[in-house]
Structure formats: structure tokens, C-alpha cells
Structure 1
Amino acid sequence: RIKNKDPSYIQKFWVGLMDGDGSIQVNHWRKKALQYRLVIKLRHCSENVEMLNLISKDIGGKVRIIKKNEFVIWVVDSRKSILKILKIFDTYPPLTSRLRAQLKFMLECFKRDDVEWYLNSRNSKYLTPTGRDISVDIDYSYFNEWLSGFIEAEGCFSIRQNNFHSFSIGQNDDKYLIDAIRNHFNIQSQTRNPYKTFWLIETYRVSTLHNIIKHCTEYPLIGQKLVSFNKFKDLIN
């Protein structure tokens, strides 16, 4: 499915998937030691298992089925492996303020290795406005691959009985990111704010949907979203 892609495709895609569905976690063990984890949690289905196995093969980490077969997770909990994998973010930084703040906090915990500091700082790790980026300079050299990973997590291909098919994608807090996706696909409709800090774009325009289909064909989805994309593509084309 990802034939002829450069070896870094999975890494760039993974950053987008982490931005959408992943988390960078620091916890403590009985207030004595710090524990570190990278996690992506998805609905359990063969396509998601296959995708996470691909990530595990290329990047590292283990894939497990949890909660009575309901979810599949990709997890890295060895400090050495985490440090190695975090280097990917040096080359392809995350684009959501949430993941950037989690990454910054984990790196600070690694540096200090101080449970006391962690316990005092964990509640403010990314809840304060100053701790989160209001906007990010987007590096477009990996944006296409990142975007496919992000669509895998947050995109929605809606098929409707009345033939008003649409594509939508949303995100908490980061309007700058939804605006960047809107510009990238040349979406005419405005970015909406349906509730609280959630930002969303949705497009029904056939010419725009063709742009999105072209993108997802060139930069393939590799999990469960590929199934809904293929059905969608057949209807639009």
C-alpha cells in the first residue's frame, strides 16, 4: 500500500497520527520514580492493527489489544527507546499545541529526573496559555505526509443518502492548524467554532473533494480510515 514511498514516509505520517490520536505521558511510581510512555490508542480492527504493526516495525514500540478486544494500542515504555524515537520530532516537529507541550514537559522531566519537580509541575504542564503555542511555523517539507497521518486520526469522510457527501476535520484549540489545512486544500467554506475551543472545517464542494482525494491517493492513509476513504472516492469519482 505504501510502495515507492521514501523510508521516512511512516515517520512523517506517524507524527500526524501522534498529533491526532497519540499522547506523550509522564507518570510516577509511588512518588519514587518517573515512568515514561508514548501511546497511540485506536479502535480495534484489522486495518488499525496492521498500521500500528507497520509503525512498530519502522519506528519501534509494541502493539497490544486491550479492554476485551475493544482497543488496539501502540506503546513505548522503555526510556532508551523513547529517547531514540523522540529524535524523530527533532526532524519533524509535532504541529498541535497539545503534543508540543507534552513533548516539552517530557524532555524537561528527562533532564531534571526529579519526582518532586514533576509532582509540583504536572498540573500546569500544558494547561496554562503560556505553556501552549498559539500558532506554529509550519514546515511544509513534511506537511503532506503529516496531514495524511492527521486525517487518519481526525478526518471524516461522510457519505450521505442525499448525495451531499463531505469531508470534515476538526481540532481542539489550534485554529491555526485547521486554517492551514483549509488553505492547503483550497477549501472555500470558513473555519467554524461549533463549541468551546473546537475548530472545524467541512466541505461539500466536488472540486475540493477531488483535491482531497488526490492528496490521499498520493499520500496514502494506512489504517481504518483508508476503508471509508475508498468508499468515498468511489462515490465522488
Structure 2
Amino acid sequence: MGEGEGWKGGEGIGVKGLGKGLGPYLAGLIEGDGTIIVPKIERSFKTGKLTYASIQIAFHAKDLPLAVMLLKLIGEGSINKRKATAAYILSLNSRKGLLNMISLLNGHLRTPKWFAFSDLIVWLNNRDSSLQLQIKPMEKESLISNSWLSGFIEADGSFQVRTSLKSKQPRLGCSLEISQARQAKNGEDMFPILNSIGELLDVKVNPIRGDRKNPQYRLRTSTLQSNLKLVQYLDKFPLYSSKRLNYQDWRKIFQYFLEGTQLNNVNKILEIKSQMNDRRTVFNWDHLAELDNI
């Protein structure tokens, strides 16, 4: 795919025809790996042209099929490759595209990105007073109630398998790791949402990289109990990026831990691990057919 190539949205099926789970999923995805841009001035000082708001979502190149499917469902927007990176950006700039996305997201955001979302609605209302869009408050329902966390894991989660075999007693483990900057772009603390995830999965949130320019929070499942809670959630609200395939492999390995047979299946665990994450070469996207009805 050349850097000059891209995709544009078509008619879609209309956001009212989409499943109720798509909005929370998109909210989690955007709050983890998206940007909401709201102009502070009406016209550019340099060109005099009107400024435009936009919602952008970044995807790794291997997840391009997911980006294309989301573009199709939203019915507006474009996808373009980010220069010199293995990333694609899904962008919504048109009035219709922004309104479609607002309809899906409104009431489902849980992080400080809600403030930028609110600014976007105010900006649109000021542009067209007939819209009278309402700003719904942050989502307060339990994370177990919808697909928000699935979207957030798509953006910031990583399924890990530990295989330390050099010692006399092999050390094996499997975990989900989620890392996030401690502060959102508006300066708000990200701890509350990370702590909510930690409470759901029964793990602690730890501050890391405190001596670096961009300190982070990290949580990691590692016990049978925390991993089992993760499995129960993701079996109900599945992933749709290539991480779904990593999760399915990770889940096979976790089953050995549930059965207490991990030490008897080291070779199988190593074989499964060798095909996960950056080592994955085979992808199946049949599950994307379910995305419009989650």
C-alpha cells in the first residue's frame, strides 16, 4: 500500500442501525488511541481558510482491516497512511462524519478526553445553532456493563506470556498489561480510570517511569483470579483487532494454568507464544462481520 493511497467512507448502514455495543467500544478505542481536535480560531492566520474539527484514530498497519470496517460502518471519513510509520489514521472531518461519531460516543466516554469531546459539541452548536446537541455526562456504569474496556485494550493493552526456562525451576506466566500516561493532554490525572480497570480485574495500578519525561501508570494481571476475570469480560465483550487473535492464543495458554498443567506443557506454550504479537504472520478477519451488531 503506497503512502499516497487511502480510503474514503461510503454511505454506511446508518448509525441508528448499528449495535448498541459499538459506541462504548469506539469510546474506549478513541480514549486509548484517538485524538479529538477542536479549533480555537475560526480561520487560519496563515492561509485565511476556515478551520475544521476532527476526530482521529490511530491503527497499527496490521489492523488496517479493522479501520476499513469501522470507516464503512460510520459511513464518513478517510484512512491514510502516516508517513514513515507502520500506522494508519482514520479521520473524521466532515459535519456528517462528526455527527455520526458524536451519536455513537455521547454518554460513553470515561476519561478526561470527555472534555475535548464536550468542546467539540459546543463548537458544532456554535457553527449551527439548529443542531442543539446535548452533552451527556461521563459514563459512570460499571466497566462490566459494556464494551468500553475492549476498545481501550485494543489501544493500550498487551497480552504477554513469560517463559523463563534457564533456572532449575521454569518460571511461566501469562498476563495482560495496560500502560497509560499519568496525565491526559489537558493535565487531568488518568489514575481514576486505570484504578477502575484495576478494581474490575483485581489488580493494583503502579506508577512507572517516574524519572522520565512521560511517566506512566501500569496495571498487569498475573494471578489466576485476575486473569479469570479478564477472560470472563473478554468472552462477553470480544476484541476485533489482531489482538483478538493474540488473546485467543493467550487464552489457550491460560487454560494450562487453570488446569495446573503448565509445567507439563512447556513445549506447547513455547510453540503458541512463538506465533503471538509481533511474530504473528497469519491473520483471520472473519470476526469483523460481527462488528455492526455488537
Query: TM-score normalized by structure 1?
Result: 0.76
Q: How does 1:23-38 map to 2 (within 5 A)?
A: 23-27=35-39, 29=44, 30-38=47-55
Is residue 81 of structure 2 the alignment partner of residue 65 of structure 1? yes
Counterpart contact for 1:11–1:59, Cα < 8 Å: no
Counterpart contact for 1:167–1:203, Cα < 8 Å: yes
Return the alpha-carbon distance in structure 2 between the equivalents of residues 141 and 203 of structure 1. Answer: 16
Q: How does 1:1-237 map to 2 (within 5 A)?
A: 7-27=19-39, 29=44, 30-45=47-62, 48-60=63-75, 61-67=77-83, 70-90=86-106, 92-97=107-112, 99-113=113-127, 138-140=140-142, 143-162=145-164, 163-172=172-181, 173-187=189-203, 190-196=204-210, 198-237=216-255
Return the alpha-carbon distance in structure 1 between the equivalents of residues 116 and 25 of structure 2. Answer: 19
TM-superposed CA distance for 1:143, in Å, is 4.4
Return the alpha-carbon distance in structure 2 between the equivalents of residues 50 and 191 of structure 1. Answer: 32
TM-superposed CA distance for 1:57, in Å, is 2.4
Gaps of 5+ in 1: 1-5, 114-135
Q: 1:13 to 1:186 in 2, by over 3 A?
A: same
Q: Name the count of aligned residue pairs.
A: 204
What SS does the corresponding residue of 2:194 show, helix, strand or coil? helix
The one-letter code of the counterpart of 1:56 is: L
TM-superposed CA distance for 1:150, in Å, is 0.5
| Bigger relative contact order (CA 8 A; separation at least 6) | 1
Query: TM-score normalized by structure 2?
Result: 0.63
- Structure number with greater Rg is 2
Gaps of 5+ in 2: 1-17, 128-137, 165-171, 182-188, 256-294
Return the alpha-carbon distance in structure 1 between the equivalents of residues 151 and 139 of structure 2. Answer: 19
1:101-122 CA distances to partner (integer Å, 9 max, x unpaired)?
2112222333445xxxxxxxxx
What SS does the corresponding residue of 2:52 show, helix, strand or coil? strand
Q: 1:144 to 1:76 in 2, by over 3 A?
A: same
1:77-111 CA distances to partner (integer Å, 9 max, x unpaired)?
11232123212232x331111x1121122223334
Return the alpha-carbon distance in structure 2 between the equivalents of residues 142 and 34 of structure 1. Answer: 39
TM-superposed CA distance for 1:137, in Å, is 5.8
1:6-47 CA distances to partner (integer Å, 9 max, x unpaired)?
8122222111101101111134543542211111012101xx
